[in-house]
A and B are shown apart, each in its own frame.
Chain A
Amino acid sequence: EDKVVQSPLSLVVHEGDTVTLNCSYEVTNFRSLLWYKQEKKAPTFLFMLTSSGIEKKSGRLSSILDKKELFSILNITATQTGDSAVYLCAVVPGTGTASKLTFGTGTRLQVTL
């Protein structure tokens, strides 16, 4: 059974801090890893990672994948209160079926003033 473990479960930081969120996984025939941000409503897509060592970047957020060690990290620099959310990691198997995402339970990030 595919498995995704995220750490820490929750995190409180001050505005301006840099945070690193972790995601480790076990999946049959890995295809891709996705990061989502969930505020009060639906998860919104951040990154898709398929290759090791290639950093994806969007503003203050960046992410990288290590397929050998089976993990990914999501970095947020110069955090702002608007970054407060649950960050979800999901993996997609490479078998010939639909994008059957398996999610971790998420990291709840709170950024305080």
Chain B
Amino acid sequence: DAGVIQSPRHEVTEMGQEVTLRCKPISGHNSLFWYRQTMMRGLELLIYFNNNVPIDDSGMPEDRFSAKMPNASFSTLKIQPSEPRDSAVYFCASTPTLVGTEAFFGQGTRLTVV
């Protein structure tokens, strides 16, 4: 299995632009998580899905952030408009069951907003 696949690996954009991050979870996994990692705050859970349905988006920082999971093999995290403080590494992770197993992480997207 190729693991969790994220794209792009790096993104540099100007403030105010829309940014879309993509994730393909491991086949057969039914839970998907979006995390953001910064030096100051560590790994923060933004939102997670189970069977393509958003379960908890309380970690999404602002209305500028939105996430979708149109099918079991694809999810997007969108930031519109982007701001410099959104600069971070964004990780996608998936788990094979709803509760109690470890999460498998993608390689992350390093976002820089200038």
A: residues with CB less than 8 A from B are 31-32, 34, 41-45, 48, 88, 90, 92, 94, 96-106
Contact = CB atoms under 8 A, between A and B. Distances in A.
Interface of B: 4, 31, 33, 35, 41-45, 48, 50, 55-56, 91, 95, 97-108
A42 B108 contact: yes
B103 A31 contact: no
B104 A99 contact: no
Q: Is the interface of B mostly helix, strand, loop or mixed?
A: strand
21 contacts: A31-B99, A31-B100, A32-B100, A41-B107, A42-B106, A43-B91, A45-B104, A92-B99, A97-B55, A97-B99, A98-B33, A98-B48, A98-B99, A99-B102, A99-B103, A101-B33, A102-B45, A103-B35, A104-B42, A105-B42, A106-B42
B107 A45 contact: no
